[in-house]
């Protein structure tokens, strides 16, 4: 079942996010899906996921580059890198035109062949530093 679960998780990044196909959420996200990220609140189910990714697609022309995928039991872990250009308002921040890159890890819990729950940790501070909302640490590359 691990290979099947991993394939479903990859569809989140490849089809839903990168190919800008929101209808894929209806196929891979459970109706009661919960997204857990303290920085980015999201609604439940497929509609919540569609609303979650849209700002990054539109305001950052975001691209999700999957680096690693592995699974255990009903959970699939994905290490990914998000890139784009900040050309629209996101997280209340006016566009800066700056290129961004963030590292992230998401863990997806599977149930009945769909993603039922997601935990994501991403470099929020790095993102804020790259767009100039927070000063970079002395000597750090922004």
Tens of pLDDT, residues 80-114: 999 999 999 998 899 999 999 999 999 999 999 99
- H helices of the chain, in order, are 2-11, 24-28, 45-59, 124-130
All structural domains of the chain, each given as residue ranges with its CATH number in brackets, are: 2-130 (3.10.450.50)
Tokens 């000597």 belong to residue: 139
* Strand locations in 37-136 (E): 63-72, 75-85, 99-111, 114-122
pTM: 0.92
Tens of pLDDT, residues 14-57: 999 999 999 999 999 999 999 999 888 899 999 999 999 999 99
């Amino acid at each position: 079942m691990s290979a099947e679960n991993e394939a479903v998780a990859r569809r989140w990044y490849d089809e839903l996010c990168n190919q800008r196909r929101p209808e894929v959420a209806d196929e891979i996200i459970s109706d009661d899906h919960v997204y857990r990220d303290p920085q980015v609140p999201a609604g439940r189910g497929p509609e919540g996921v569609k609303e979650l990714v849209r700002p990054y697609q539109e305001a950052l022309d975001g691209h999700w580059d999957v680096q690693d995928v592995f699974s255990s039991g009903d959970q699939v872990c994905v290490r990914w890198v998000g890139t784009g250009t900040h050309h629209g308002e996101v997280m209340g921040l006016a566009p800066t035109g700056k290129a961004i890159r963030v590292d992230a890890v998401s863990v997806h819990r599977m149930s009945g062949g769909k993603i039922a729950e997601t935990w994501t940790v991403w470099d929020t501070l790095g993102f804020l530093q790259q767009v100039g909302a927070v000063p970079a640490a002395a000597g750090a590359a922004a």
